[in-house]
Amino acid sequence: MIRIGIVGGTGYTGVELLRLLSQHPQAQLQVITSRKEAGMPVADMYPSLRKKVNIAFTEPDTQTLKQCDVVFFATPHGVAMAQARELLDADVKVIDLAADFRLKDPAEFQKWYAMEHTCTDLLAEAVYGLAEVNREAIKKARLIGLAGCYPTAVQLGLKPLLTSGQALIDESNIIADCKSGVSGAGRKAEVHTLMAEASDNFKAYGVGGHRHLPEIKQGLNNLSGRETGLIFVPHLTPMIRGILATLYVKVRPEVRDMDFQALYENHYANEPFVDVLPKGGSPETRSVRASNMVRMAVHRPQGGDTLVVLSAIDNLVKGASGQAVQVMNLMFNLPETLGLEQVPILP
């Protein structure tokens, strides 16, 4: 059994980790921390976990966490980098769901997250936690910077086009038009996520620059091996869960006759959590709700030179906690799908 600690178990990604790991046949939930709720049984805060999670929240204590095999940080940015080194020195693997170990350039981190990186020496070792991209490196890793929710939907949506071995698209002009439910903002109380503010409303935000932009660009550059140009515009939608990324790219004239549907189907044929819909399909966020699936479709409107890729995920599962469990499975040489084969819920 894998002894598991979770730092920050009261937020949405924390409770998703608890939901998934409580059903995982090789997971033993050992420590779940929360300064504010220390002493409270987890099931008192989240009744959905009654008879599944029978321990209480505890104060964050590194000595207790050192008794674990892996520690998940479901915390705000900046927390994991303050504790990661001590845990790694105790042979505890670390999976950070925040941004502390996603960006390789500490100056970029400071620019977008308004804080100095305090353990830059670990950035070179940290592996970017997107299994469909870094599977082999993840298997050998002890420190993971988990991919963000928008970056997961965008990178997986574009991966077949950037890794085919030939130039298929104009990589200098990629547009990612993305929509997310309000749970992506976390569980903290903020005016823009109040029901009276977010419901019956639809708006763009971060148009001038969003903190996921450098992460997506870093990933796309790594996939293509070249510098890419990206316009990324996120939107807030009046739903709880889900991300739909609509990606626009220009096809190069020399590959106008390529069968892009076949390209996507072949590329993802052996990926357990990627479902390429049949030609003409359109993935919906509810078709992936509460699951670790990515559903995508590729379109070429009017047979022109613009390719439209649609990529749908649950932001709390494949965009966060489910992806974290998928990565954990790889790190401990378990079947990648273990504990993650839940069918999406409907309605």
- Residues tagged active-site: 149
**What type of residue sits at position 90?**
A
Identify each DSSP E strand in 173-305 by its residue range.
174-180, 203-204, 230-236, 243-250, 274-276, 294-299
- How far, in Å, CA of 209 to CA of 186, rounded? 20
Which residue, 145, 132, 34, is CA-closest to 93?
Answer: 145
Work out the end-to-end distance of the chain between its first and last CA atoms, rounded to an integer number of angstroms.
Answer: 35
State the DSSP H helix or E strand holding residue 7, giving kind and residue range, or none if neither.
Answer: strand 2-7
Which tokens is 80 given?
């994991």
- How far, in Å, CA of 172 to CA of 153, rounded? 19
Per-position DSSP letters for 280-311, written without gaps between them: T----GGGSTTSS-EEEEEE-GGG-SEEEEEE
